[in-house]
């Protein structure tokens, strides 16, 4: 009878081990795009879409891709000042677009004078001052334009991915000192990549 007791105990042990439902394995954490090819694959369509909205001055559609909680931060030059750069939520940007209020966006390079502009005038000077939809170079997750301004987008947006639309020069007589870049920074919310930063980079004194 002893062998029967041992056999019964073994059956019970197996039943306890395998009879229940196994817990589902935890999903592997999603790896953010890192290489230029990966960034282009993930953000190429969204980045070009945003450039199209900016070119068309379609603030309503632009507002639709702005992060609803974080809003979008505007940096007039390549250095992102997280304490002073203005941030607008989707609705706030639409409201500001249609009013005549002047906002202080920072200081002009060289003179140090305050940048006091309405939203539409700021866009014309510090967002879409050249046709970035035809930019000859695009940096997927990496900066192209380099100057004496500290480029700190990675520190300002540790969870962000940046796409840069770049002109190495506008007029050959300036020998590249008139280069321009539009840097768009996106962060992921759910399954979507939303706009959190618009950085206008250029040659500075």
The CATH number given to whatever domain includes residue 148 is 3.10.450
Query: 144-163 burial, b if ≥16 CB within 10 A, otherwise e?
Result: bbebebebebeebbeebbbb
SS3 36: helix
Which tens digit of pLDDT belongs to each residue from 46-63? Answer: 999 999 999 999 999 999
In whole numbers, what is the pLDDT of the chain averaged over residues? Answer: 88
Residue 25 lies in a domain: no
CA–CA distance, 60 with 31 (Å, rounded to integer): 32
Residue 45 lies in a domain: yes
Residue 28 lies in a domain: no
pTM: 0.85
Range of the domain at 68: 33-202
Residue 3: is its pLDDT beyond 50?
no
Q: What is the greatest pairwise CA distance in the chain?
A: 102
Number of domains in the chain: 1
Residue 40: is its pLDDT beyond 80?
yes
């Amino acid at each position: 009878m002893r062998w029967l007791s041992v056999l019964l105990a073994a059956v019970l042990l197996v039943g306890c081990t395998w009879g229940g439902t196994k817990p589902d394995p935890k999903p592997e954490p999603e790896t953010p795009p890192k290489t230029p090819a990966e960034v282009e694959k993930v953000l190429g369509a969204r980045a070009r879409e945003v450039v199209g909205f900016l070119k068309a001055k379609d603030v309503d559609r632009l507002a639709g891709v702005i992060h609803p909680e974080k809003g979008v931060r505007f940096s007039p030059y390549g250095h992102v000042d997280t304490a002073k750069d203005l941030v607008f939520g989707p609705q706030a940007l639409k409201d500001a677009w249609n009013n005549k209020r002047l906002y202080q966006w920072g200081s002009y390079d060289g003179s140090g004078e305050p940048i006091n502009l309405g939203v539409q005038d700021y866009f014309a000077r510090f967002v879409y001052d050249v046709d970035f939809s035809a930019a000859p170079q695009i940096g997927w997750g990496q900066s192209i334009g380099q100057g004496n301004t500290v480029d700190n987008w990675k520190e300002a947006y540790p969870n962000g991915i940046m796409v840069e639309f770049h002109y190495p020069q506008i007029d050959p007589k300036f020998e590249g000192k008139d280069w321009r870049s539009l840097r768009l920074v996106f962060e992921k919310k759910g399954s979507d990549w939303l706009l959190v930063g618009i950085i206008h980079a250029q040659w500075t004194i």
